[in-house]
């Protein structure tokens, strides 16, 4: 370039020793006719520019041009910035190292779930037990009260025949009852238990029969007959007719009322026995195979209360028979002995 050569003495010496341009040759830095000139949009000094005739400054050798930033107004040359060390990617969590913490969290969650389940189960069981107790202690009493009311009405209708005008010296032979299973045929009165105590005795001791009231043990004697008249009843459910059986004392009257007479038994003793003992229902209690010679009454119920572990047995013996009279009343007042 002409400006550069004029101010460089070395360039003058070199120019003087070099032959001049040949005819038709293109001068350095000149543009051939029709050839494209240098790009006006590329700033000087950027990589890719065609080298000029200006010598390279030795001090710039080895330097890397810095990339233009937002505040750069042009190309700047400077030492290459040291590259920042690359951070390694985050390591995957080691199952072994996080295992104890995770296991503790899972264990705590499992314990909480199990505890909630057990709590809900206990609440449900408590409600079921409460409903069962309500049914056993109150609903069953209502069921038997209705059954007893119907049985009383039926007996009153059956016993509505006129009573004998007077009590003869010797009562006439009694008509032996022949009730169907579950049918009422007699009434039990115990003065010690009050005037309102008068449950109807039904035939049979199956569960369905005992839900109605005290039941006569099939195959044993009937009221007033020679032999053992056995009656069983509930102590804590279905009206609990034998709930106070343990209050009876020796000599207390137990009255069995039938259509035309009263059979008055006297309490002799009570005993608690194993529930599997059957000799207490024999014709002579506790003496199987012996021929009976007297009329006795045996009453049985569960013992203790709310349990069927044992049986409470009350033994009584027939004391007298009293015929019913017109407008008559039971032979004993409440509490009378």
Q: pLDDT per residue over 231-282, tens digit each?
A: 999 999 888 999 999 999 999 999 999 999 999 999 999 999 999 999 999 9
- Using an 8 Å Cβ cutoff, are 229 and 222 in contact? yes
Q: What is the pLDDT of residues 120-160, one digit of tens each?
A: 888 998 888 888 777 767 777 777 777 788 887 888 787 77
- Using an 8 Å Cβ cutoff, are 227 and 220 in contact? yes
- Using an 8 Å Cβ cutoff, are 220 and 281 in contact? yes
Catalytic residues: 234, 302
Note the pTM of the prediction, 2 decimals. 0.59
Nearest residue to 50 (alpha-carbon basis) of 75, 30, 80, 20: 30
Distance CA 78, CA 68 (A): 12
Distance CA 109, CA 102 (A): 11
According to the model, what pLDDT value does residue 182 have?
A: 95
Class of domain 156-323: mainly beta
């Amino acid at each position: 370039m002409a400006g550069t050569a004029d101010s460089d003495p070395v360039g003058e010496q070199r120019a003087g020793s070099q032959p001049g341009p040949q005819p038709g040759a293109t001068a350095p830095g000149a543009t051939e006719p029709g050839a494209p000139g240098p790009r006006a949009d590329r700033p000087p000094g950027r990589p890719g520019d065609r080298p000029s005739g200006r010598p390279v400054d030795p001090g710039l050798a080895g330097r890397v041009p810095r990339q233009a930033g937002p505040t750069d107004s042009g190309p700047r040359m400077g030492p290459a910035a040291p590259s920042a060390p690359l951070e390694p990617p985050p390591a995957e969590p080691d199952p072994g190292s996080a295992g104890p913490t995770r296991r503790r969290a899972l264990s705590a969650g499992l314990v909480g779930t199990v505890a909630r389940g057990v709590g809900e189960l206990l609440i449900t069981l408590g409600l079921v037990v409460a409903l069962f107790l309500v049914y056993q202690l109150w609903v069953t009493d209502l069921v038997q009260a209705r059954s007893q009311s119907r049985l009383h009405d039926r007996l009153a209708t059956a016993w509505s025949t006129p009573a004998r005008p007077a009590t003869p010296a010797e009562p006439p032979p009694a008509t032996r009852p022949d009730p169907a299973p579950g049918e009422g045929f007699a009434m039990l009165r115990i003065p010690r238990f009050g005037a309102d105590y008068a449950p109807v005795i039904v035939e049979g001791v199956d569960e369905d029969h005992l839900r109605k009231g005290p039941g006569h043990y099939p195959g044993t004697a009937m009221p007033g007959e020679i032999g053992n008249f056995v009656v069983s009843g509930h102590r804590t459910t279905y009206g609990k007719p034998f709930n106070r059986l343990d209050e009876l004392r020796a000599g207390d009257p137990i009255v069995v009322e039938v259509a035309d007479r009263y059979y008055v038994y006297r309490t002799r003793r009570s005993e608690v026995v194993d529930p599997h003992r059957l000799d207490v229902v024999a014709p002579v209690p506790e003496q199987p195979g012996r021929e009976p010679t007297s009329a006795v009454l045996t009453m049985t119920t569960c013992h203790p209360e709310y349990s069927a572990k044992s049986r409470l047995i009350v033994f009584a013996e027939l004391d007298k028979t009293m015929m019913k009279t017109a407008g008559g009343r039971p032979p004993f007042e409440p509490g009378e002995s």
